[in-house]
Amino acid sequence: MKSEIMIIGGGASGLMAAYGAAKWLVDNGSDSQVTVLEKMPRPGRKIMITGKGRCNFTNVKDWNAFSPHIRSKSNFVKPSFYNLDSTAVVDFFESNGMKAVVERGDRAFPASYHASDVVDTLLRACTGYGVKVVTDCPVTGIVRMADGFKVNTADGLEHRCRRLIIATGGLSYPGTGSTGDALAWAEGLGHAVRPCFPSLTALVPKGYKTGDIISRGKGHIDRGTPLSEFGKSLAGIQLKNISLAAVIDGQSVESEFGDVDFTDGGIEGPVGFQLSRRCVKAIINGSKVTLRLDLKPGVEAAELAARVKSLWDEVARDPRSRGKGDRERCRILLGKLMPWELIPAFLAAHPDIVTVKRKAGTRDGSGRYSVGAQQAFVNLSVIAKALKQWDFPIEGFVGYERCVVTAGGVDTDELLPKTMESRLVPGLYFCGEVMDMDCDTGGYNLQAAFCTGYLAGQSAAKSLLAQ
Ligand SMILES: Cc1cc2nc3c(=O)[nH]c(=O)nc-3n(C[C@H](O)[C@H](O)[C@H](O)COP(=O)(O)OP(=O)(O)OC[C@H]3O[C@@H](n4cnc5c(N)ncnc54)[C@H](O)[C@@H]3O)c2cc1C
């Protein structure tokens, strides 16, 4: 097959690159062919699972508000963003027949809340400009030629192109086709690849999983490793309006307010994900990581201690407490301070909340000694402290099998931010997650994929026509 512009990878960035290239060519009267080679039977497999199947396809913030959510070098993304900002991405989808809605946090979704609409719209836009999308076509290698590139595919065929765009994504959710194939090709062509690691992933507390941990590398704890009893007592719980801090080697380095989810993987949800990048990196570097949960971030410690005491007195005064021991009363007290389902794990993690002491023994008239009965004591100050500071020492993290995004990748210092072309190999372009580019959750990653893809496609087409 011969095509002037070839794109490896039919994901978010690759399809947008194909659209950008084909549109530019058609608008400028060229009939040059643009072809996407996609490994999977259908393009856009990863898009289909984004936003829990609803696809949060962009975030409509302006650059100043958007850029702090780019965790890698944000300046690299700036020219692409200005070339196709998030409002332009919404316009692209709407003008191609997909209505969009914007939710809390400026997050844009298809109005149908079906990720498939995003894929269908991208494909419709591409084919409308004559893009050829070849599926079931894994690329196995690329060779630089004097007049372009040779692309080898698993069926043993060789394809020629004059401009090549690599849009193969990162390493996360390999079942969607993103297996990091292009990282080795990039290195083969002389590009540096920044170390990759999972980001936006679950952090696994110590004791959350069983002893037989399945691991592939330092700190990695496979999602499939079974939960321990402690893990089972937490998995499925969602906490709202809490604060979570990352403590690395004893220093609190980042704190986030919001919602956290305990899942079969570990600690995740918006706030857990937000901290995960830093924590994963620290674990890989051999640092000690603790997540510090504050269940009452709006209340000062002293005020909380007084509140715990007054609630305890209230429980004691309640006629329904009559006949109930301190252990039971403690559960009633905790029920006033946290969701019921969290209580067993809270008590298990803080064994000194309820301590058991034996009452003094007695001697009867004949001098026989009876051992005193056991009595539970509730330590209110421990409860107050644990509500503000519940520490989860972190044992590891869930890896590429279930992380949202890959940090690291092709070094962006060796790419031109205004075109996405390689500084080392003219005619070669990169876009999307294959590059050292990762963002927070909230539609930022897809926006980054779309805008870098569009710029790469447009630039490849422009340079082809300028030749
Ligand atoms: C569960 C989950 C939920 C997410 N939710 C959101 C969200 O709601 N909002 C958001 O902004 N981001 C979200 N993301 C992140 C976002 O999906 C990615 O950042 C984005 O898809 C990256 O786009 P890409 O084009 O670079 O890579 P991908 O979308 O991964 O596409 C790469 C494509 O290249 C193909 N490919 C790879 N190797 C080869 C090869 N050798 N030959 C041919 N083809 C190949 C793959 O099959 C794949 O189709 C989510 C990610 C996950 C995993």
Over residues 153-170, the pLDDT tens digits come to: 999 999 999 999 999 999
Mutation to probe ligand 1, out of 66, 109, 165, 446 (largest number of atoms < 8 A from CB): 446
Domains identified in the chain and CATH numbers: 5-197+405-466 (3.50.50.60), 199-297+390-397 (2.40.30), 301-358+370-386 (no CATH)
Mutation to probe ligand 1, out of 35, 37, 50 (largest number of atoms < 8 A from CB): 50
Q: Which amino acid is at 399?
A: G
Residue 38 has pLDDT above 80, yes or no: yes
Residue 288: CB partners within 8 Å, gap ≥ 6?
248, 249, 250, 393
**H or E element at residue 437:** none
Confidence of residue 91 (pLDDT cuts 50, 70, 90): very high
Over residues 188-226, the pLDDT tens digits come to: 999 999 999 999 999 999 999 987 788 778 899 999 999
Are 74 and 81 in contact, with CB atoms under 8 Å apart?
A: no
DSSP category for residue 200? S
Phi–psi pair at 175, nearest 5 degrees: -65, -15
Tell me, in angstroms, the distance from the centre of ligand 1 to residue 261's CA: 23
**H or E element at residue 380:** helix 380-388
Residue 320 has pLDDT above 90, yes or no: no
Residue 358 has pLDDT above 80, yes or no: no
Tell me, in angstroms, the distance from the centre of ligand 1 to residue 11's CA: 6
Over residues 110-131, the pLDDT tens digits come to: 999 999 999 999 999 999 999 9
What per-residue confidence (pLDDT) applies to 366?
85
Confidence of residue 362 (pLDDT cuts 50, 70, 90): confident
d(CA 70, CA 397): 21
Residue 359 has pLDDT above 90, yes or no: no
Over residues 423-454, the pLDDT tens digits come to: 999 999 999 999 999 999 999 999 999 999 99
Cα dihedral 296→398→14→413 (10° resolution): 80
Residue 373 has pLDDT above 80, yes or no: no
What per-residue confidence (pLDDT) applies to 188?
96
Residue 414 has pLDDT above 80, yes or no: yes
| pLDDT: which is higher, 97 or 358 | 97
Angle at 459 between CA 454 and CA 463, to 5 degrees: 155
d(CA 228, CA 205): 11
Residue 127: CB partners within 8 Å, gap ≥ 6?
133
Mutation to probe ligand 1, out of 178, 201, 398 (largest number of atoms < 8 A from CB): 178
Over residues 45-82, the pLDDT tens digits come to: 999 999 999 999 999 999 999 999 999 999 999 999 99
Confidence of residue 32 (pLDDT cuts 50, 70, 90): very high
Q: Is the CB of 409 under 6 A from ligand 1?
A: no
* Tokens (6 digits) for 223: 């999602």
How much is the mean pLDDT over the chain? 95
Q: Is the CB of 10 under 6 A from ligand 1?
A: yes
In this prediction, what percent of the chain has a pLDDT beyond 70? 100
Confidence of residue 421 (pLDDT cuts 50, 70, 90): very high
